[in-house]
Structure 1
Amino acid sequence: MRKQKFLLKTVVYVLLLLGATITTIPFLYMVSTSLKGQTYVFEVPPKFIPTDPTLQNFSDAWNSNNFQGYFMNSVFVSVLTTVIVLISSSMLAFAFARFHFRGKRFLFMIILLTLMIPGMMLIIPQFILAKNLGLLNNLWGLVFVYVAMNIAVNTFLLRGFFEGIPRELEDATRIDGGGFFTIFFKVVLPLSKPALATVAIFTFLFGWDEFVWAVISINEPEKYTLPVAIATFHGAHQTQWGLVFAASLFAIFPVILAFVLLQKHFIKGLTAGSVKG
């Protein structure tokens, strides 16, 4: 039995290592290419370790084509979207988890139904609404749409987590004279850091990586976010792959940083929110 368990565990670890290696290779190749001069990009056979590594691609990418402006546009849109979604979805989820009101179940079912609608089907209605509200070609228009697209799923996630918080803690707060706002801000939210971290990561990733709506709604180049900018950057430098991959690494870095900072809460929050509700 011990030999069988050891053999099974070994096979599992080997398969996990193989899967991790396969998924990591494209990223390593991108890093490798970003460190190569144009002369070595298409060498055969390709080398993961550059013959003459250089950081010039990173300097050129950061200082060309208003890349810094694109980077700040993405930071503005992603951070603002994340903050608004955290506030609105947590309040909405708390209401569904703790309050009793007429039509509560029906309204929550409507929220769940919105999760079943493919995002691409909403492009035309979003465009018409944004046009009528004057939000086309505007970073605030991106924030408005991104918030609307993220509230439903994050409300569902947070509601499940909030329902797992013992009601006795809220009762004790009421006995001490605290109201709903005190319970929400000083009891529920501090205990919900794992779920809030999960929501923050998902929302930030969405705002940072979203391409379709950004390329449709933004026409002025100075208002591009990074995904759109890198696509046009690739068009302007289609033979300079080292430059394109260096720009892509700049775009990936904040995502990796956000996950590293919040990873200790991520798995716990995702699991808790997915099994309750």
Structure 2
Amino acid sequence: MTRAWRKTVLYGLRYLLLGLAAFVMVYPFLFMVSTSFKSRSLALGDPTSLWPSDPTLENYIQVLGTENFARYFLNSAGVAVVSTALIVLLSSMMAYAFARLEFRGKRTLFTLIIVGLTIPTMMLIIPQFLLARDLHLLNSLPGLVPFYVGTALAFNTFLLSGFFQQIPRELDEAMMIDGAGPWRRFWDLIMPLSKPAVGTVIIFSFLGTWDEFAWALTVLNDVDNRTLPIAIALFQGQHSTSWGLVFAASLIAIVPVLIVYILFQRNFVAGLTTGALKH
């Protein structure tokens, strides 16, 4: 076997394995989309059939016509947008302080942030619940925001601080000569040059708050205050055999995440590859 032929075979095997891996990853999503367009009698039919023989929009019509579904969607949207905005603002300010400013205890504080990343979120449920009770934040949508922001700050601060350190300090010095203070350098220099990292933080933050289930289920009791993940879980319980309805509701819930990703996808890869590489 010649060297060129061997190289061709290796490339063929590589692409074959990658194709199989991609199919394994994508197939469950395709099956969910297909099932959402099937009638109830066909939903649990042949799992290898990805194209329904008689597609219907009945599942989506029923989901959108379900009482309070629109309210749950708006509840999740409001909480996710406000939480994401606060996460981006606060984590970028913290990251700027760690990356560009000098103050006493800087290294110790940053080490504590890194240590905080090792604590599983589920271990914080009880302490957070007690704190929310004492602050009278239980059973309210605004009460979700501080905890979503608090649990996301450590990772995003770490990500952004690594990116901020890659920006040449000579640019800071040039602005300082012109009389720019830390606040102006943050807004007019660091943030405009950090769009890839900020876009990555927006995607991660929105996805995390939009899909969050455990904490919302723990603190929300009022039916009108439920978020979309809770509504879908209860919807599945009410229609345990109507997988077409469940998948249709899940696909509707995916739409805002896809929109956010499409808007910031240009910055996503650059932010992942350049952030958090140095500190």
Mapped to 1, the partners of 2:214 and 2:194 lie a distance apart of: 32
Mapped to 2, the partners of 1:11 and 1:193 lie a distance apart of: 38
Aligned match of 1:96 in 78, 92, 98? 98
Mapped to 1, the partners of 2:25 and 2:217 lie a distance apart of: 28
TM-score, normalising length from structure 1? 0.96
Change (3 A) 1:13 1:44: closer
- Deviation of 1:45 (Å): 6.4
The letter for the 1-side match of 2:136 is G
Aligned match of 1:65 in 45, 64, 67? 67
Q: Which residue of 1 aligns with 2:45?
A: 43
- Deviation of 1:12 (Å): 2.2
**Residue pairs, 1:1-277, within 5 angstroms:** 1-44=3-46, 47-277=49-279
Change (3 A) 1:34 1:45: closer
Partner deviation per Cα, 1:227-259 (whole Å, 9 max, x = no partner) = 110001111222221111110000111112211
Following TM superposition, the consecutive aligned residue runs of length 4 or more in structure 1 with deviations greater than 6 angstroms are none
Mapped to 2, the partners of 1:100 and 1:13 lie a distance apart of: 50
Contact 1:65 1:233 in 2 (8 A): no
Mapped to 1, the partners of 2:30 and 2:273 lie a distance apart of: 30
Change (3 A) 1:137 1:167: same
State percent identity of aligned pairs.
51
Mapped to 2, the partners of 1:196 and 1:62 lie a distance apart of: 33
Change (3 A) 1:109 1:44: closer
The letter for the 2-side match of 1:65 is E
- Deviation of 1:44 (Å): 4.4
Contact 2:31 2:47 in 1 (8 A): no
The letter for the 1-side match of 2:104 is R
Mapped to 2, the partners of 1:44 and 1:10 lie a distance apart of: 31
Structure 2 gaps of 5+ residues are none
Mapped to 1, the partners of 2:259 and 2:230 lie a distance apart of: 21
How many residues end up aligned between the 2 structures?
Answer: 277
- Deviation of 1:83 (Å): 0.3
SS at match of 1:40: coil
TM-score, normalising length from structure 2? 0.96
SS at match of 2:275: helix
Instruction: Compare 265-274 and 86-95 and name the one that shifted more.
Output: 265-274
